[in-house]
């Protein structure tokens, strides 16, 4: 069996905001997002593209198409607020304490969660899916309550998404450091709604074209760099890192380039090496998990290796081992 794992809210946010040529949500075998809450809670609000788990007339949860589950890259299940994979082991003990009393409470995000929909519903359901999936079934840590509090702009009442709607779905920059550092493209940097939703207070632009900053009183750093093997970002790594560090106390920072693939990921990794004590290998793997199509070209990889050597006094990462 593929097993189970907890999925941090930030990870699901990034899964939802991946793209290749089109948003990856448009790919039929990319994400199966399942809502294990009550029908009333689901109708009130749910995470975009989520389907409510179907139940039999006797109230038993039904397994979706097993062939679909066998092909899907991510299968994510969430309930109201499950935070541990061990919660089911303590179910009987919690029942004895009366924790499953039939009562409805309001969450901070404005949605309601029934206490009789016990914590652990997502875990129990995920266990029934393990045998069908190629990858571990992911259980959203903190459930809908926590996710919707962090990413209110990704909740909806919409039940059906047409293929064309998914093709044109508005993606957000990926989140590198929770509620602090984001990485995206030029179009996202110029989107006023994105700036407001993510509370962006500063931007680092490493594309050649200047951008319009919408954040009132926001700070802006423009390092004009072409995306070529001869381009120099190394000489600006310290400036970028110090700028980000200085702005994080004021709010979130967005690092962006034209497509959000090469220059922005290079600048982001340089910051992680400088300010988060990451090796180049650790920074590479970390950013790749956040944005699966990030690809600095070879010239920037060499500059990152030189930066690692400058910061730590020794070359730690063999660049030939990077998943490049």
Q: Which domains does the chain have, with CATH numbers?
A: 4-167 (3.40.250.10), 174-321 (3.90.190.10)
If we measure between CA atoms, which residue out of 185, 262, 280 comes closest to residue 225?
262
pTM here? 0.90
Give the C-alpha separation, 324 to 295, whole Å.
7
Q: Which residues neighbour 68 within 8 Å (Cβ) at sequence distance 6 or greater?
A: 29, 32
For position 55, what pLDDT does the model report?
78
For position 322, what pLDDT does the model report?
84
Flag whether pLDDT at 89 surpasses 70. no
Give bridge partners of residue 4 from the DSSP assignment.
Answer: 137
Flag whether pLDDT at 98 surpasses 50. no
Give the C-alpha separation, 261 to 248, whole Å.
22
pLDDT-based confidence at 214, cuts 50/70/90?
A: low
For position 10, what pLDDT does the model report?
97
Cα dihedral 256/262/266/268 (nearest 10): 30
211-231: average pLDDT: 84
| DSSP letters for 206-274 | -SSS-----STT-EEEE----SSTT---GGGHHHHHHHHHHHTTTSEEEEEESSSSSHHHHHHHHHHHH
1-7: average pLDDT: 89
If we measure between CA atoms, which residue out of 290, 260, 250 comes closest to residue 272?
290
Give bridge partners of residue 32 from the DSSP assignment.
Answer: 75
Q: What is the mean pLDDT of the chain?
A: 88
For position 113, what pLDDT does the model report?
67
Helix H or strand E segment including 126: helix 121-129
- Top pLDDT among 324 and 177 is at 177
- Top pLDDT among 4 and 92 is at 4
Q: Please, are residues 120 and 61 in contact by the beta-carbon 8 Å criterion?
A: no
Flag whether pLDDT at 294 surpasses 90. yes
Helix H or strand E segment including 38: none
Flag whether pLDDT at 102 surpasses 90. no
pLDDT-based confidence at 311, cuts 50/70/90?
A: very high
Q: Which residues neighbour 40 within 8 Å (Cβ) at sequence distance 6 or greater?
A: 112
Residue 309 dihedral angles phi and psi, to the nearest 5°:
-65, -40
For position 14, what pLDDT does the model report?
98
Q: Which of 76-80, 139-143, 160-164, 266-270 has the lowest mean pLDDT?
A: 160-164
281-292: average pLDDT: 97
pLDDT-based confidence at 99, cuts 50/70/90?
A: very low
For position 215, what pLDDT does the model report?
60
**Angle (nearest 5°) at CA 154 between 241 and 73:** 85
């Amino acid at each position: 069996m593929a097993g189970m794992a907890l999925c941090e809210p930030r990870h699901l946010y990034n899964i939802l905001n991946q793209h290749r040529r089109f948003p990856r949500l448009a790919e039929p075998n990319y994400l199966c997002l399942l809502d294990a809450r009550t029908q009333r809670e689901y109708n009130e609000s749910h995470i975009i593209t989520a389907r409510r788990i179907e139940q039999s007339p006797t109230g038993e949860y039904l397994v979706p198409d097993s062939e679909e589950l066998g092909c899907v890259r991510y299968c994510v299940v969430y309930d109201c607020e499950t935070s541990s994979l061990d919660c089911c082991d303590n179910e009987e003990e919690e029942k004895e304490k009366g924790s499953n009393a039939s009562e409805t409470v309001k969450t901070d995000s404005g949605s309601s969660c029934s206490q009789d929909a016990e914590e652990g519903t997502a875990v129990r359901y995920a266990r029934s899916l393990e045998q069908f999936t190629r990858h571990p079934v992911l259980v959203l840590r903190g459930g809908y309550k926590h996710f919707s509090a962090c990413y209110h702009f990704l909740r909806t009442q919409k039940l059906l998404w047409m293929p064309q709607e998914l093709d044109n779905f508005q993606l957000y920059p990926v989140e590198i450091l929770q509620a602090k550092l984001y990485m995206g493209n030029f179009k996202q940097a110029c989107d006023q709604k994105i700036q407001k939703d993510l509370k962006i207070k500063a931007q680092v632009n490493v594309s050649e074209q200047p951008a319009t900053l919408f954040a009132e009183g926001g700070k802006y750093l423009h390092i004009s760099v072409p995306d070529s093997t001869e381009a120099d970002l190394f000489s600006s790594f310290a400036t970028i890192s110090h700028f980000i560090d200085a702005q994080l106390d004021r709010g979130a920072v967005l690092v962006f380039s034209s497509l959000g693939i090469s220059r922005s990921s290079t600048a982001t990794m340089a910051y992680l090496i400088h300010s988060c004590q990451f090796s180049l290998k650790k920074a590479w793997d970390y950013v790749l998990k956040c944005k699966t199509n990030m690809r600095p070209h070879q010239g920037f990889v060499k500059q990152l290796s030189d930066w690692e050597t400058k910061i730590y006094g020794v070359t730690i990462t063999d660049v030939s081992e990077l998943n490049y």
